[in-house]
Amino acid sequence: MTAADLSAPPLTRANPIARFTAAVFGWLPLSLAVLALRFALAVPFWKSGMTKWDGFLTLSFGAQQLFVDEFKLHLFGGEYAFPFPQTMALLSALGETVLPVLLVFGLATRYAALGLLAMTAIIQLTVPDGWANFHLPWAAMALSIMTFGPGRIALDRLLGLERPRT
């Protein structure tokens, strides 16, 4: 038995399946998995955000009209118009462009994931049929990032804004 085997929890030492699983998957660093999660969550929001702009800080007419005419909040069995649709369109476009960039760079990572989780909740209220294919995976990714943090491959760690997990 090696020193690493002795430092493992007793059930892991005794269980050959647990030892095999640790040997097969133990090499994968958590930071790599969290980096992949950050990218996976950032991509769909970034792509959507890029469709909402006509130029630098110029919100497209189509994006504004979506919030005025098409998007409705589905609450308590009814459909309700968004309050302040132009403001909501601008906030949506800003969130869909800024938050993914923060996620990819690992800057204010947990807060960016929280922001995307909040956006996912609002999107769920707007498009309730997308929960299984889109909203549930996005929420799970955001919650995972909020739980595990940015990992080592992040500006948060480089700048000392996030402490290593102990």
Express as a percent the part of the chain with pLDDT over 70: 90
φ and ψ at 22, to 5 degrees?
Answer: -65, -35
Looking at residue 5, what is its pLDDT? 54
Q: How confident is the model at residue 166 (pLDDT cuts 50, 70, 90)?
A: low
Q: How confident is the model at residue 13 (pLDDT cuts 50, 70, 90)?
A: low
The β-bridge relationship of strands 78-81 and 72-75 is antiparallel
pTM, whole model, 2 decimals? 0.85
φ and ψ at 73, to 5 degrees?
Answer: -85, 130
Least confident of 9-23, 58-72, 80-94, 126-140: 9-23
- Encode pLDDT of 106-135 as tens digits: 999 999 999 999 999 999 999 999 998 999
Looking at residue 38, what is its pLDDT? 98
Residues 6+ apart with CB under 8 A from 58: none
**CB distance 52 to 63 below 8 Å:** yes
φ and ψ at 82, to 5 degrees?
Answer: -65, 135
**Mean pLDDT along residues 81-96:** 95
